[in-house]
Amino acid sequence: METGTQDRKADRIIAIGASTGGTEAIFSILRALSPAIPGIVVVQHIPPVFSRMFAERLDSQTALQVKEAQTGDYADAGRVLIAPGDRHMRVKRIGSRYRVECFDGNKVSGHCPSVDVLFESLAREAGRRAVGILLTGMGYDGARGLLAMRRQGSRTIGQDEASSVVYGMPKAAFEIGAVERQAALGRIPQVLAELIG
């Protein structure tokens, strides 16, 4: 039984997107997770130097291994990869693992890195093996990508209005039917655990 659970989790991946208020929201989720969690990829709208500092802070203050992503990094269990502040990030499935690619590009949905770019790659590469989480933020980045994920069988979570600093991005996603489960920030780790089994 245990082996089966591990096998099922081996090829799972979690993607998180956030903007305004997101650094604290992401920290509050990650510090509640154990190193047994599937690999996590994150797009937080943040300037370049700060993305590395953010990753270093999370690495030192959570039980997970967190780093600013570089092309070729793998999102393995217990590992969190944060998109660089001025580059898009997408994932590519290689066997049962997920490798990230960071690349220069124009703004998508008003941003680089863009949550939509990450989420749309998850929809293509991971489908029902993925969970997408859209947190507090201004605008609509991530809504379209989260919908693409849900249509491909991914589980999706949106932060609720009461716990969001800015209920823009999760609201946009909720309104187009991209959010399967809406939850307060404090409940998201529990909802995530339920969805990944």
Q: Which residues are catalytic?
A: 19, 45, 141
Distances (CA, A) of 41 to 58, 90, 119: 13, 9, 10
Rg of the chain over Cα atoms, rounded to whole angstroms, equals 15
| Residue in the structure block whose two tokens are 């990869």 | 81
User: Structure tokens of 100?
Assistant: 């990230």
Plot region of 195 (φ>0 → left; ψ -120 to 50 → alpha; else → beta): alpha
CB 84 within 8 A of CB 113: yes
Q: 131 by DSSP, 3-state: which?
A: strand
- Beta strands per DSSP E along the chain: 13-18, 39-44, 65-68, 79-82, 88-94, 97-103, 130-134, 155-159, 181-183
